[in-house]
Structure 1
């Protein structure tokens, strides 16, 4: 039985819950940070929904990204940190400046507390949005050597992830700390309750007929269970220190391809799933009036394929296919009654 404690920030999040389950299964003690302690029972239930029934090694602490003092308390007697919490368009300000400031402030507060507690290593959850955004002319597959172009007109979320990761690397280099960053692509996989990620929302919308037309876009996808595995590997493996790792199945799947295999797999349940694709020119016009389309529309005509080679070669990581991850998302949504089949 391990006697080491891992602080997981943003414990109620999709990736965080799965990471907590993996850590508990390996015998770590886990301290999960929450912005409100009212969610403790909900998070425990979600962890158990992964199949990890024993949650006796899980405790919670109240902390917020912008409250430095809360992290000093949260960090006491912690050995490792998985900094997964991040402002998202669904939960935090939609202003680029406000979101960036919150994300960067969170990194600095958490990393300062970790430095003072002499934490062994921090694993930061960044995003592929810190790699592939703002690159209209990039035909090559994206790797960890790439960074999003901050001189371009980035969406608030992509800019916040990029600047927060840069701030994290600057901090650990100047303070001689150990860190690894994980950069997930579109995260799919079994949902664990009524809350799920914005990537999952697209699946629900497809089945409920709320996407009568699709964008001519393709993205890489990854299963949340594999993302959680990669976080643990990045925490434990000596070779991971100082490295970035793209978390991707390596499968670049268009919305039309996604719709087609969902219809084939689910049959009559997918009767409202559309395979009709909107012309790019029309999408760009509509995006001016629909802010939900602005981020995906920014990728029209751009390559978005990412490489999983580094995580596989350096850490021995293995991932399910993108199609398997997407189907698992839909199946779990039906299981929870989250998709209106009427």
Structure 2
């Protein structure tokens, strides 16, 4: 390690900030990209709020996934790159290319710049979205061998993550030279919120705790703590066995939305008094989906029982994630601590 320099793209994001924390804790020097210098203070505040003073060990580069400018400077002198930045809106884009183009072209920009700079390895943050939509393995959990079918009826976000990861692997195969690639595919990322600008997954818990979800759709998805996803990135960055591999980041069996709500209520007690555990009938969600684009995206997943396994990451990299329950509790506790919940009436 000896002070090796790592670039983290998107350091002002929820996972990006946790990756910076993990790298600093492990003794690396870190450079991170932000789209505007105005976000530098936000990143430093998040790190200090988590108990880490990055003084002298963190630098910034201005770069955007949609433009070439800034990327050569961002990767210059770096030993590794964690490409975490990618659009993940809370709403539905007007056109799928609003997500697909920056995700795919942004990944290729980072890879080209990394190859030109002589970077050893890039770890790309992909998603379970690139694995678990399309044909389900009969009676088996999804593994890293599974791929989402982007031609199937999937959301713009799911398609963007699938096409971006495919493009990254194709680039390495055709033009990568000596550049190595490893990919991390997280499920829903929860865990300690570091500031008011957090993730779509943690906003889900925030909405529950604010009483903004009086009814719950019959859905299930995976849970993992951001600290463990960051740890998996660092392991995939340096372990020789991780070259050319994908790793699912999931803490255990998938949970239904109702199970998540019950966990939050049980672990947080009175602070979660506004969390509803009432499940909505599928027909009602379908009716709402006729008038609401966000609800419409849920309809094809209603009642589906999915699962994924972390066996590969555990076996190859020695990864040991926290429990699903601890990840969810940490989310709620941080929202309370940072004053990010609406006051009770």
Please give the TM-score of this superposition, normalised by the length of structure 1: 0.96
SS at match of 1:6: strand
Matched, 1:234 2:236: yes
Aligned partners of 2:316 and 2:136: how far apart in 1?
A: 29
Whole-Å separation in 2 of the counterparts to 1:120 and 1:92? 36
Query: What's the offset of the Cα at 1:301?
Result: 2.8
* Paired residue secondary structure (2:301): coil
**Aligned to 1:68, what secondary structure does the other structure show?**
coil
Report what 2:167 is aligned to: 167
Match of 1:273 in 2: 275
SS at match of 1:89: coil
Please say if 1:97 is aligned against 2:97. Answer: yes
Match of 1:78 in 2: 78
Q: Supply the distance in 2 between the matched residues of 1:35 and 1:75 (Cα, whole angstroms).
A: 15
CA change 1:91–1:17 in 2 (3 A) is farther
Describe the SS at the equivalent of 1:167: helix
Q: Secondary structure at 1:124's aligned position in 2? A: strand
Which piece of structure 1 moves more, 266-275 or 313-322?
A: 266-275
Residues 203 and 93 (structure 1 numbering): CA distance in 2 closer, same or farther, change over 3 Å?
same
Q: Structure 1, residues 123-161: CA drift from partner, whole Å, max 9, x if none? A: 000000111123467542100000111121111111000
RMSD: 1.7
> Gapped runs of 5+ residues in structure 2?
none
Mapped partners of 1:135, 1:302: distance in 2:
12
Match of 2:256 in 1: 254
Alpha-carbon separation, structure 2, partners of 1:140 and 1:125: 24
Unaligned 5+ segments in structure 1 are none
Query: How far has the Cα of 1:94 moved from its partner?
Result: 4.6
Partner deviation per Cα, 1:254-308 (whole Å, 9 max, x = no partner) = 1111222222223332222111111112212212211222333332132321100
**230-239 vs 49-58, which moves further:** 49-58
Counterpart of 2:24?
A: 24
CA distance in structure 2 between the partners assigned to 1:78 and 1:117 by the alignment: 8
Determine whether 1:209 maps to 2:227.
Answer: no
Q: 1:161 to 1:219 in 2, by over 3 A?
A: same
The 3-state SS of whatever aligns with 2:3 is: coil
Q: Note closer, same or farther for the CA distance 1:138–1:196 as it changes in structure 2 (3 Å cut).
A: farther
State the alpha-carbon separation in 2 of the partners of residues 207 and 242 from structure 1: 40
Q: Do 1:21 and 1:47's aligned partners in 2 also have CA atoms closer than 8 Å?
A: yes
Answer yes or no: is the 8 Å Cα contact 2:47–2:54 preserved in 1.
no
Q: Is the 8 A contact 1:32 1:59 kept in 2?
A: yes
Structure 1 partner of 2:201: 199
1:158 maps to: 158
Instruction: Name the SS for the 2:69 alignment partner.
Output: helix
Aligned pair count reads: 342
Q: Which residue of structure 2 aligns with residue 304 of structure 1?
A: 306
> Helix, strand or coil: the match of 2:222?
strand
Deviations along 1:86-120, whole A, 9 cap, x unmatched? 01224995521231111111111111111111110
Q: Is the 8 A contact 2:190 2:226 kept in 1?
A: yes
- Asked if 1:143 is matched to 2:112, the reply is no
Aligned residue for 1:188? 190
CA distance in 2, matches of 1:93, 1:38: 25
Superposed CA offset, 1:285-338 (max 9, x none): 212211222333332132321100000000000001111100110011011111
CA contact (8 A) 1:94 1:156 kept: no
Q: Check the 8 A contact 2:263/2:328 in 1, yes or no.
A: no
Question: Which residue in the other structure is 2:343 paired with?
Answer: 341
- Seen in structure 2, the aligned counterparts of structure 1 residues 270 and 25 have a Cα distance that, compared at 3 Å, is closer
Cα displacement string for residues 216-235 of structure 1 (whole angstroms, at most 9, x for unaligned residues): 11111000000000000000
CA distance in 2, matches of 1:214, 1:165: 31
Distance in structure 2 (CA, Å) of the matches to 1:248 and 1:94: 30
